[in-house]
Amino acid sequence: MPEDPSPEELAELLEIAEDDDLRDLRPDPTDSRVVADAKKRRRTVLLARKIGIALVGGMVLAAGIVMIPLPGPGWLVVVFGLWILSFEFRWAERLFDQIHDKVIDAAHLAASNKWGTALSVLSACSIIAAGVVWWLWDDLPYSSWYSGLALSVSGVVALFTIWWAANDLKKKRARLAAGSG
């Protein structure tokens, strides 16, 4: 029958359950059997999580890189892969944050110009129309339902991004006006 942990062991078990750093969970010869087992289980869970995130994020990132020259949301998938990897890897988090900041700045810059916004909306609608044509017209190169759907989804994502950028810029300007007034 397993022995009940002491109050000191219970406090250490709570710390182990909240610890996300593998280095803190190294075996210590002074640990009791209960604490050593808890550290081992926590290390296993954290390592499995890290491997799972690396595999999924790496596959999404690789798929995005493959999609860059093809019709479809290649760059969006690359950024999504970096976002997944950023949960476990600092390099991916730094790169994702840099990309995120630059994208926000570019979106605000584009939304601040009415002609640029109108041209962006027209371009997004053209991408959606091209997707429909690619889906329906079999004589075009790389024509298929997948190519058409990927283009159309890219156009819809572009429209959503344009709408979001315009609204976010409007909120930012309102915050700045409220702060200075």
Write the DSSP string, 106-136: HHHHHHT-HHHHHHHHHHHHHHHHHHHHHHH
Q: Are 31 and 64 members of one domain? A: yes
Domain encompassing residue 70: 1-88
If asked whether residues 172 and 152 sit together in one domain, one would say yes
Q: One-letter amino acid identity for 117?
A: T
Asked if residue 93 has pLDDT above 90, the reply is yes
Half-sphere exposure in the Cβ direction for 85 (13 Å, CA): 23
Amino acid at 122: L
Query: 75 with 115, same domain?
Result: no
End-of-domain residue from the set 48, 68, 88: 88
Q: Enter the tokens of residue 58.
A: 């790496």
The whole-angstrom separation of Cα 135 and Cα 128 is 11
Same domain, 3 and 62: yes
pLDDT bin (cut points 50, 70, 90) of residue 26 is confident
pTM, rounded to two decimals: 0.61
- Tell me: do 95 and 82 sit in the same domain: no
Residues 95 and 79 in one domain: no
3-state DSSP of 69-114: CCCCCHHHHHHHHHHHHCCCCHHHHHHHHHHHHHHHHHHHHHHCCH
Q: Which long-range contacts (CB under 8 A, 24 or more apart) does 3-9 make?
A: 3/34, 5/32, 5/34, 5/35, 6/32, 9/34, 9/35
- Counting the structural domains of the chain, the total is 2
- Mark whether 101 and 176 lie in a shared domain: yes
Q: Are residues 35 and 62 in the same domain?
A: yes
Q: What is the pLDDT of residues 147-178, one digit of tens each?
A: 889 889 989 998 998 898 889 888 888 888 88
In sequence order, what are the residues at sequence separation of 6 or more whose Cβ sits closer than 8 angstroms to the Cβ of residue 60? Answer: 77, 80, 81, 84
Task: Tell me the CB-side half-sphere exposure of residue 88, using CA atoms within 13 A.
Answer: 17
- Examine the fold and report which residue of 58, 88, 118 is the final residue of a domain before the chain moves on: 88
Q: Are residues 101 and 74 both part of a single domain?
A: no
39 has pLDDT over 90: no
